[in-house]
Amino acid sequence: MLEKRKRIKKKSIVQLFFSRNLNVPAYLTFLVGLTLGFVLYPVVYPPWLTSSSEKVPLRVCFSPEGKCTDKIVDAINSSQSSISVAAYAFTCPRIAEALRDAYRRGVDVKLLIDKSQLKEKYSQLPFLLKEGIPVYIDSAEGIFHNKTMLFDGRWVLTGSFNFTRAANSKNAENILLIDDPSLAQIYKENWESRVERAKQTFM
């Protein structure tokens, strides 16, 4: 009996699949159903969102060695008309202060933030709201994991970098600053569509 079991174990998957014990009708039904499934219900993936620009200037920063918070603050200070923020975590006072200063000089500053920041101990929401800056809480069922800023309808800042102290001084992170109005418009449309479904906060 033991020797028989050993012989069975040595059989390949293919041999077992085509053995006499195979239920042929069930096997054929499975193959036909699988084939029809791919034909009648093909997997369709959404297309890429593409930019029309042929030449796109890029700026890259890696933390902690790059001190990326300095780059973000410089971009905020250079903005002239609008800043749209999409953030998962926002606990960095320097970035919050730069946004406040931009708002005070007349820049249209708005934030779309994850709901976790309502309870986060070091969240900068109270500071920003006190300044009168509009803040919206995203309605994502999961987490709102974006880390993006849009400047003046032209510049897109994005990457893995959360707007936190740890992202600047401890974590291995990256940011891209992209000069591309076409790309900025794509991001802006997505940002605005999420704001329409978001809840404005008045903490």
Name the residue ranges covered by the structural domains of the chain.
58-200
Given the residues 101, 108, 115, 145, the one annotated as active site:
145
Is position 115 annotated as part of the catalytic site? Answer: no
Q: Using an 8 Å Cβ cutoff, are 95 and 166 in contact?
A: no
CA distance 157 to 148: 5
Residue 58 pLDDT = 87
Residue 202 pLDDT = 64
Taking phi over 0 as left and psi of -120 to 50 as alpha, with beta for the rest, 67 belongs to left
Residue 57 pLDDT = 83
Read off the DSSP letter of residue 50.
-
Given the residues 101, 108, 115, 152, the one annotated as active site:
152
Given the residues 71, 114, 147, 180, the one annotated as active site:
147
Q: Using an 8 Å Cβ cutoff, are 124 and 92 in contact?
A: yes
Residue 21 pLDDT = 56
Is position 55 annotated as part of the catalytic site? Answer: no
Question: What pTM does this model have?
Answer: 0.75
Residue 14 pLDDT = 42
Q: Using an 8 Å Cβ cutoff, are 72 and 168 in contact?
A: no
Is position 152 annotated as part of the catalytic site? Answer: yes
Strand 108-113: give its sheet, edge to edge: 58-63, 173-179, 155-159, 147-151, 82-87, 108-113, 135-137, 199-200
Pick the CATH number of 58-200 from 3.40.50.300, 3.30.870.10, 1.20.810.10, 3.30.1490.100: 3.30.870.10
Q: What is the mean pLDDT of each run of 10 residues along the chain (203 residues)?
A: 47 46 59 61 62 76 90 96 97 97 98 94 95 94 95 97 92 93 96 92 66
